[in-house]
Structure 1
């Protein structure tokens, strides 16, 4: 009799007991690695080779958005994908990895904090069975990222599955994701109030998460836009672009023209998320 639920129809321990990690790798030493990370093929098989005939597509990590993390607080990262197999699946597996070799112990991260296999809904289609799958990776930077900030950057989604005959299939690049350090901007415009035509000094600071220390630190030599919004308007105008100091500090001047708000805007980088300071209102008299 066929079994219907991909994530629960067969015990992972039963299916995987005779199999080992590709390339002889063991559970990842990378921060946040799932403790039960298992192989999806034999030692002689690399990801994308199919012992089984399962195919994967439509992988989406965090709804297609960057995974931006501060130094504290857990973040739930949803993952969805679809799978197809002519014979039907016993279970599916998913994890994020970073680097050049998904079977390397220093690049595999497992499911970043969760030991649960994806939950899949089976649908009978022409030629076999289609599965709509989902899971959630729970990331705690204070625990998972203690080894440093090198974790920030591009990641790939590895998906694997076992069919009902314990044949393994894997694809190590179904989708891409970016894990970034959270950034924060402050702003202060003075004096307040100010006479029209006089100089306004706008100061602030750009900081970002430092996972290795569990603190926030200044982000040096980064371009930041100074913007102004006239009172009663919803549109922001960029006045100039300046760079942060070695400590992440910002300081610039502008002429007072009319009542309105000033703010700093940081676009973000390859490893760091964007940030926008709340507007600081200046009364011009």
Structure 2
């Protein structure tokens, strides 16, 4: 994780993970207020070594105005994994007052996430919550009041890119015998590069569509075995295509295998 500058480390230590109630109670008369926040990114799917940059914003207000640089943002994910915002460019402010209301400001932070085994390891894929902290202009460090946190403001899923294969056999099928389908679900290996077998227990469905119709039939519900291996046996269907489908989790994306066409004898 990225090391925070000393000033923001103090802020984060004091309040970011105390929860909104603890900070808000400090200034009963007129605490600052975080109005709402947004992660400006759809769910992210990263392959081996990929990186993505996006930004988050939140609005805050106080009767003394919002401090331009006493603010913090974090994305908290699986196991408490903590993604910190990028350092801001020199000479820029984190929070900018609104032109029509100087007591209200918009605070903006940029995040860069990398599937490099350090910023993001395999265990870090999943749902991330946006937490924020901000100080008012009248905030005095080591004194009560003028500092507030809010969590969660928004969320985003950061997922490991996936690959899925399917192969029906035998081809052509033997009359009166079941049709077999085997496949494998693999996920981007953020720790070591390349792709590695998915963990056991992920849901996958076996799907068939006959050439003579437009209806897709979900034939069987499967789960990945060791190394992401999948296997199914089913009664033969009319001529058509077979494939496997994984509809995703917080840590994995939707993915369909390539279709395998099977003609009945």
Q: TM-score, normalised by structure 1?
A: 0.67
CA distance in 1 between partners of 2:78 and 2:259 (Å):
40
Q: Tell me, which stretches of 5 or more residues in structure 2 are unaligned? A: 141-145
SS in 1 for 2:123: helix
In the alignment, which residue of structure 2 is the partner of 1:104? none
Alignment equivalent of 2:50, drawn from 73, 81, 97: 73
| Structure-to-structure mapping, 1:272-283, within 5 angstroms | 272-283=252-263
Matched, 1:151 2:124: yes
Matched, 1:187 2:166: yes
Partners of 2:62 and 2:103 within 8 A in 1: yes
Provide Cα deviations, 1:79-113, integer angstroms capped at 9, x if missing partner. 23322233333244322234798xxxxx54322xx
CA distance in 2 between partners of 1:174 and 1:273 (Å):
23
Partners of 1:98 and 1:108 within 8 A in 2: yes
SS in 1 for 2:227: coil
Provide closer, same or farther for how the CA distance between residues 149 and 124 of structure 1 changes in structure 2, counting only shifts above 3 A.
Answer: same
Q: Tell me, which stretches of 5 or more residues in structure 1 are unaligned? A: 1-29, 102-106
Partners of 1:158 and 1:170 within 8 A in 2: no
Provide Cα deviations, 1:119-144, integer angstroms capped at 9, x if missing partner. 7572535xx63344544311111163
Provide Cα deviations, 1:140-162, integer angstroms capped at 9, x if missing partner. 1116346x433234433222234
Provide closer, same or farther for how the CA distance between residues 85 and 222 of structure 1 changes in structure 2, counting only shifts above 3 A.
Answer: same
In the alignment, which residue of structure 1 is the partner of 2:152? 174
In the alignment, which residue of structure 2 is the partner of 1:56? 34
Partners of 2:97 and 2:103 within 8 A in 1: no
Provide closer, same or farther for how the CA distance between residues 68 and 121 of structure 1 changes in structure 2, counting only shifts above 3 A.
Answer: farther
In the alignment, which residue of structure 2 is the partner of 1:23? none
Provide closer, same or farther for how the CA distance between residues 100 and 226 of structure 1 changes in structure 2, counting only shifts above 3 A.
Answer: closer
Shift of 1:42: 8.8
Alignment equivalent of 2:133, drawn from 160, 166, 178: 160
In the alignment, which residue of structure 1 is the partner of 2:65? 88
Q: Calculate the aligned-residue CA RMSD, in Å.
A: 3.6
Matched, 1:243 2:223: yes
SS in 2 for 1:61: strand
CA distance in 2 between partners of 1:233 and 1:82 (Å):
53
SS in 1 for 2:98: strand
| Structure-to-structure mapping, 1:188-267, within 5 angstroms | 188-192=167-171, 199-219=178-198, 220-231=200-211, 235-267=215-247
CA distance in 1 between partners of 2:247 and 2:229 (Å):
16
* Equivalent residues, number: 243
In the alignment, which residue of structure 2 is the partner of 1:97? 76
SS in 1 for 2:151: strand
Provide closer, same or farther for how the CA distance between residues 202 and 130 of structure 1 changes in structure 2, counting only shifts above 3 A.
Answer: same
